[in-house]
Amino acid sequence: EDQVTQSPEALRLQEGESSSLNCSYTVSGLRGLFWYRQDPGKGPEFLFTLYSAGEEKEKERLKATLTKKESFLHITAPKPEDSATYLCAVQAMEYGNKLVFGAGTILRVKS
Amino acid sequence: DGGITQSPKYLFRKEGQNVTLSCEQNLNHDAMYWYRQDPGQGLRLIYYSQIVNDFQKGDIAEGYSVSREKKESFPLTVTSAQKNPTAFYLCASSIDGGVGTEAFFGQGTRLTVV
């Protein structure tokens, strides 16, 4: 059973059309949830860390939120340059300090 | 500029050959990691090291080896025992590998078996 599941697998948006990406997890003892952005052929770029339910963080058009079983990455009025794969990862007591990654959501924003 | 440098960007391996991927960081981070990325799958941990001269196996260590002789360097060798080595390899580092510390990634090496 996958411990970290991201949905949808792919998302196409028109420029300016806001939406949300989901990351659900089944691990126990969450120590941190991380969001990354990855451009094709490049390494992931760190975006946010969330530690506890109810926490929110924002950066430009992106806002990450966390509940007890899932995290959302909200994208407000996206632009074509927001097109990328968005990865989430969790760090949990049952895995020590290792990060467990989801498969990612591929976002395409068309102008 | 501080960062993580992986080389080469592209690498081709013949059957039965060992190849070594380089990873260097100048962030003064204690912890370093190697991940493998395959299409449609999450990043999977190969090896990690939290201190010089010490490293641990990750989830998919078979067919790989590492060394950590210097704080700034963590090379990965893909041996002939790795039966399906074609993948995108990512090196990362974090300040101490502790709870809640984010990892920063290099730009990756794409390995192809020919």
Please provide the DSSP assignment of B10-66 as one string: EEEE-TT--EEEEEEE-S--SEEEEEEE-TTS--EEEEEEEETTEEEE-TT-TTEEE
For residue A96, pLDDT beyond 80: no
Residues 6+ apart with CB under 8 A from A70: A22, A23, A24, A25
Asked if the Cβ–Cβ distance from A98 to B48 is below 8 Å, we say yes
Could you read off the pLDDT of B8-56 as tens digits, one per residue? 999 999 988 999 999 999 999 999 999 999 988 889 999 999 999 999 9
Yes or no: say if A59 and A13 are a contact pair by the CB < 8 Å rule.
no
Asked if the Cβ–Cβ distance from A44 to B97 is below 8 Å, we say no
- Confidence (pLDDT) at A1: 62
**Between A18 and B81, whose confidence is greater?**
A18
Percentage of chain A modeled with pLDDT above 90 = 86
Rounded mean pLDDT of B1-14?
91
Residues of B with CB under 8 A from a CB of A: 4, 6, 35, 40-45, 48, 58, 90, 92, 97-100, 102-108, 110
- Confidence (pLDDT) at A17: 98
